Amino acid sequence: MNEPGAVVDDALLDENAEELYERASVGYVSSLPNGRIVKVNETLLSWTGHTREDLLGGKRVHDLLAPGARIYYETHWAPLLQMQGSVREIAVELVRADGGRLPVLLNSTLVRDAAGAPAVVRTTVFDATERRRYERELLRARADAESRARAALALAHVNDGVLLVTRDGRVDVLNTAAEHILGVAAADAEGHGIAEVVPEWDDLAARVPVCAPGEPTAPAIVPLSRGGHEQWLAVAAVDAGDAVVYTLRDVTADHALEELRGDVVAIVSHELRTPLTGVYGSAQTLLAHGDTLDEGTRRQLLTMVVEQAERLTRIVDQILLTSRLDSEDVDVGADADATALVANVLATLPAGQRERVDVEAGATGSLRGGAVLAGQVLGNLLDNALKYSGGRVRLEYTDEGDVFRFTIADEGPGIPAGERERVFEKFYRLDPDQQQGVAGTGLGLYIARHLTERLGGRVTLRPAEPGTTVVVELPTA
């Protein structure tokens, strides 16, 4: 029913089957069983550029196919058509008149005569150009998605942190390693401002040069404060156009090791130089003027050589023992009598220092193993107390049943509360510049704690005013 006022020309509605066939949205071609083309519509002619006369002049369907499709036509298409009577959605390429290729889908039906003999093959041709383009794009998208998935998988398992920050300062990508390094989950960071996620980021990024793609990158070593402690990161940045890719590696341990190496060189060189200077100077004097020196002076110089040589031996022994503690187990040894142990330790002290030690003995007994190691522990602690205290040092030992407790108390300047754990670190000294005139490698307390732990005991510091009190507890036999 026409809308009011609408006038439709009846001629426009006068359609016939032939016109519909010629101008259909698909191509039609009819061929004899041997493949010779006998009918073709205008649509297929326009797609391929062939003329009707050319195709109906003896051409076969086989002649319109690209080389690969011809083989398929002979080996699969034609046999299937004979057996099944129809073949659907065969993807092939037709050769245009200008030599170009047209991707199409073919549906073929075999029509038989009244006797059942093959009479004609009717084929419908669909232009698959857009479909082919879509399939290619789909394949590209799939390959891109798979590539991104593989990249994401690799990114999630690399040891270095990877951080992608957009030009407007938002976090776009944060891999698993970066989560651990920065202490923030990707879900809480991605899409947020980097300064919101890492408050110190602006200062950090300002110290990291952004390199062009392909340009060699040398990571900048920068500090980052996290959870009340300082973290050191090796950070490199590469320009990615609309973003910057940062790679992060936690080098806190490496940085600490580098600082430790510097401390080792400075401390050991200083501690070795001082006694070596005394030994060298005394030896030079004895060599040059030994015959003219009186007996007292010669003995004084020889005594200095012996004392400084012993000091050198103690320093070297400490360094060697520290190396052994770091790399291997130390033999605990046999049980030790506490009283004999204390007597042996006191005997190793110089006479002037030995007289400053007050010993208070409780009930005596034996320690479970470690006669030598326990002696080194007490020797180091007494040496430390005597160096830092100008007054008396008290050594008390008591049998507490399961443990033997040694208490060493001095009258020195004491250890600040914030330093009471650090003094047990390797090469750490309260007075690194030796302003108090106290020399040392910073290994005494480190060795004492580690040897005590090897013996199954513990060493602790007690608050004391004034001075320092160290308590060592070792298992009894």
Task: Note whether 173 and 216 are same-domain residues.
Answer: yes
Task: Determine contact, residues 40/52, Cβ cutoff 8 Å.
Answer: yes
Poorest-pLDDT segment among 26-30, 91-95, 253-257, 363-367? 253-257
How would residue 257 be classed by pLDDT, with cut points 50, 70 and 90? low
Distance in angstroms (rounded) separating the CA atoms of residues 34 and 44: 20
Q: In the structure, what pLDDT confidence band is assigned to residue 403 with cuts at 50, 70 and 90?
A: confident
Number of domains in the chain: 4
Task: Say yes or no: 22 and 99 in one domain.
Answer: yes
Q: What percent of the chain has pLDDT over 90?
A: 15
Determine the Cα–Cα distance for residues 293 and 304; give it in Å rounded to an integer: 15
Nearest-angstrom CA–CA distance, 37 and 120: 10
* The predicted structure's pLDDT at residue 302: 86
Domain boundaries, position 96: 18-129
Same domain, 236 and 275: no
Domain boundary among 129, 145, 173: 129
Within 290-411, residue ranges assigned H as helices are 295-327, 338-347, 351-354, 371-388
Q: Where residue 102 falls among pLDDT bands split at 50, 70, 90?
A: very high
Could you tell me if 320 and 387 lie in one domain? no
The tokens describing 101, both together, are: 């290729």
1 occurs within a structural domain: no
Q: Are residues 28 and 67 in the same domain?
A: yes
CATH code (residue 177): 3.30.450.20
Residue 224 lies in a domain: yes
For residues 399 and 421, membership in a common domain is answered with yes
Residues 318 and 402 in one domain: no
Q: Report pLDDT digits (tens) over 121-174.
A: 999 999 988 887 877 887 787 777 776 667 666 666 677 888 888 988 888 888
User: Are 215 and 265 found together in one domain?
Assistant: no
Could you tell me if 432 and 314 lie in one domain? no
- Read off the pLDDT band of 109 (50, 70, 90): very high
Q: Nearest-CA neighbor of 336 among 424, 462, 471, 451?
A: 451
Is the domain of 34 the same as that of 73?
yes
| pLDDT per residue as tens digits for the range 81-96 | 989 999 998 889 999 9
Calpha distance 334→153 (Å, rounded): 56
Q: Is residue 145 part of a domain?
A: no
Please tell me whether residues 346 and 432 are part of one structural domain. Answer: yes
In a domain, 137, yes or no: no
Q: Is residue 191 part of a domain?
A: yes
Q: What is the CATH number of the domain that holds 461?
A: 3.30.565.10
Structure pTM? 0.44
Residues 451 and 346 in one domain: yes
Q: Give the CA dihedral 278, 284, 286, 292, nearest 10 degrees.
A: -130
